Structure 1
Amino acid sequence: MAMAIAALRREGRRVLLNTPSPAATMAALSPAASQSQIAPLGARSISTQIVRNRMKSVKNIQKITKAMKMVAASKLRAVQTRTENSRGLWQPFTALLGDAPSVNVKKNVIVAITSDKGLCGGINSTSVKVSKALQKMTSGPEKESKYVILGEKGKVQLIRDSRKHIEMTVSELQKNPINYTQVAVLADDILKNVEYDAIRVVFNKFQSVISFRPTLATILSPEVGARS
């Protein structure tokens, strides 16, 4: 009797294992259905309309980006032209009066020229690094070196560890296109409010869109210039 019951149980297990699942039964009953048409479990379906909308959105973004590039290129050409034309003003004076970057004087003023806004590569950080190195070289027991900072970015970087050496700061210079009158007024303001024997201007000389050269120009006071 016990052997007969065990045999029936084994037979029941075989029947359960060989019974197809409901999904397989429906697929077998539907002749039009194929394995390639059945989406895998957990897969998301997306309509062609959504794909078209996304492609259209990407194309619109590309058009906007292209227009922004054209505007930026136009502004760059205008600024580049003004920069190159301005070299005809200061280069003859430098050739006539000379430049003395290694002059040894007591009162040194370092004019660091930076921008008010960022996202312009290493222009501001390079100007700040050169200014810091120059300040260390021109400082000593019998010498003093002060900063005059043009631009908000230079002010933010130098004020962290050189607050006591900052004599004057000027920002928001780039709101309007810089011209000779604006520069002359600014230079006159610096010369009247800062005591100096030598002013060392640190700026980036434009080479190309992706290249610039840190440059130093030295301006001596009339007294020091007469002695040298």
Structure 2
Amino acid sequence: MAMAALRREGKRFALTSPNPINVLRSSLAPSEEQMSLGVRGISTQIVRNRMKSVKSIQKITKAMKMVAASKLRAIQVRAENSRGLWQPFTALLGDTPSVDVKKNVIVTISSDKGLCGGINSTSVKISRAMYRLTSGPDKESTYVILGEKAKAQLIRDSRKFIELSITELQKNFLNYTQVSVLADEILKNVEYDALRVVFNKFQSVVSFLPTTATILSPEVVEREAEAGGKLGDLDAYEIEGGETKSEILQNLTEFQFSCVMFNAVLENACSEQGARMSAMDSSSRNAGEMLDRLTLTYNRTRQASITTELIEIISGASALEG
């Protein structure tokens, strides 16, 4: 009798539900309405997968922080030593960013890689502001870009004003010889009255200062010296040897530009590693906070499912006793 009743119930279930396995799966899977109710509708498997992803991201950010810290220690000493190269030129030829010239070339130094805070955006903002200040009806301003990140930003609205673009600058170990070749390449391809180098000067791991260095052409230096301006003291020096004053100024200008470029590239690379180290430290802390929240959600979800199962067991036992 009992077996016959079970067979009748099985036939009735088969007639009302063509695929009972799909019905069972759909009843167990949480719906969107259940997901929106809170922790009770969230699957513990989803939370575990999310926790696993956050842990992987945290490992990557911690590793990137350690790599940036090791690179920073290697570059910082070289950047500090390179400051003594361009300081004598500042004392001799001066640094006059307010000089009024017709042809301005803005040399923007940035990084090739991201995840280093806002140092590249800061360089681009300073370069655009410099372009607006130095451009006019009878003036001409152009860009020379070093680094992929500044190129990607400036090419959007200033493509026709970019004369030269150089990327992958920090792919190899930089020394003065390589930077001097790069500076010579820039001088050969651009016509200028003033070169304005925009870079980030390293101060500490969490601080960098946007800086602009101005290098004047030999003609402008001679004109300013004769006018008795800030470069008027240049005529106080005596020239020995067979070279003329214009030839000496030409050599001094080229040497000054290569020294400023060498220091600017190292300072910007040092700022990049410091900013990346700080950014990865913040990312690791944020990942840890997210992991704590996910752990709390997982525990609540698991506790809710256990409580539901206990209620069902107790309710079934009470029904059997009654």
Q: Same fold (TM over 0.5)?
A: yes
Q: How does 1:88-167 map to 2 (within 5 A)?
A: 88-167=84-163
- Which deviates more, 75-84 or 129-138? 75-84
Equivalents in 2 of 1:97, 1:70: separation in Å?
41
| Equivalent position SS for 1:167 | strand
Equivalents in 2 of 1:43, 1:165: separation in Å?
54
Show the counterpart of 2:174.
178
Change (3 A) 1:87 1:167: same
Equivalents in 2 of 1:63, 1:100: separation in Å?
47
Show the counterpart of 2:196.
200
For structure 1, list consecutive stretches of 5 or more residues without a partner in the other structure.
1-40, 52-57
Structure with the bigger percentage of strand: 1
Show the counterpart of 2:76.
80
Which residue identity is paired with 2:124? V
For structure 2, list consecutive stretches of 5 or more residues without a partner in the other structure.
1-39, 49-53, 225-322
Cα deviations by residue, 1:25-50 (Å, 9 ceiling, x for unpaired): xxxxxxxxxxxxxxxx999999xxxx
Q: How does 1:51-70 map to 2 (within 5 A)?
A: 69-70=65-66
Equivalents in 2 of 1:225, 1:121: separation in Å?
37
| Equivalent position SS for 1:172 | coil
Q: How does 1:27-46 map to 2 (within 5 A)?
A: none
Show the counterpart of 1:217.
213
Cα deviations by residue, 1:118-140 (Å, 9 ceiling, x for unpaired): 11111100000000011011111
Show the counterpart of 1:168.
164
Change (3 A) 1:224 1:209: same
| Equivalent position SS for 1:101 | coil
Identity of aligned residues (%): 78
Q: CA deviation at 1:69?
A: 4.0
Change (3 A) 1:74 1:194: same
Equivalents in 1 of 2:44, 2:160: separation in Å?
65
| Equivalent position SS for 1:130 | helix
Change (3 A) 1:191 1:70: same
Equivalents in 2 of 1:64, 1:120: separation in Å?
15
Show the counterpart of 1:13.
none
Show the counterpart of 1:6.
none
Structure with the bigger percentage of helix: 2
Equivalents in 2 of 1:167, 1:45: separation in Å?
57
Q: Number of paired residues?
A: 181
- In terms of Rg, which structure is larger? 1
- The higher relative CO (CA closer than 8 Å, separation ≥ 6) is in 2
Which residue identity is paired with 2:178? Q
CA RMSD in angstroms, aligned pairs only: 2.8
Cα deviations by residue, 1:90-145 (Å, 9 ceiling, x for unpaired): 12222221111001011110000111111111110000000001101111111000
Q: CA deviation at 1:70?
A: 3.6
